[in-house]
Amino acid sequence: MTPLRRLSRSLTTLPDARGWALCGAVAAIVGTMMAAIGFSTGLYAVTPAVPGLPPRLLAVLFVPALGEEIPFRGLLVPGRDETRSPWPAVAVSTALYVAWHPLETLTFLPGATMFLRPDFLACTAILGLGCAVMRWRTGSLWPAVILHGGFVAVWQTWLGGVRL
């Protein structure tokens, strides 16, 4: 299947009830692992809510959620109907996704130095892997967009992401 056809299918497919349940379990595992890393290293710190949640949610939907999920999971990760062995694609997708963040810092986002932190990159790898698994298992990109956007919005609003 061509990458554009794969992307189109992933954007027009929604998970069934069983798929959503799997996504909930993946989200819980990803969130637990990221919290363990983030709180133990100081990447995350509970802070008073940063104002402006509605515009932040809208902005996060486009960048990074859709803006990163489309190339890294929508184009690169096959659906279950395409392969029984997605792990090479999942590994490449996750590695490129992690590498993208330091590249951003070193090129057009020089102020985003937290993208160079090992703890941030570990959380990025966990999130990328979780999003890739959800994409492969459900055939849909939307659970990954929701997970990615939701975690970034929470981090920026209540866990100190804006201060970094």
Nearest to 132 by CA among 123, 124, 141: 141
Q: Does residue 24 have a pLDDT over 70?
A: yes
* In the chain, domain spans: 3-158
Residue 159 has pLDDT above 90, yes or no: yes
pLDDT exceeds cutoff 80 at 163: no
- pTM value? 0.96
pLDDT of residue 1: 85
Average pLDDT of the chain?
96
Per-residue model confidence as pLDDT tens digits over 38-60? 999 999 999 999 899 999 999 99
String of b and e for 58-94 (b: at least 16 CB within 10 Å)? ebbbeebbbebbbbbbbbbbbbeeeeeebeebbeebb
Q: Is the pLDDT of residue 22 over 70?
A: yes
Q: What is the pLDDT of residue 162?
A: 80
Residue 3 pLDDT > 80: yes
Does the pLDDT value for residue 99 go beyond 70? yes
Q: Is the pLDDT at 26 greater than 80, yes or no?
A: yes
- For residues 84 and 52, give the distance between their C-alpha atoms in angstroms, rounded to a whole number: 43
Whole-number Å distance between alpha carbons of 102 and 157: 22
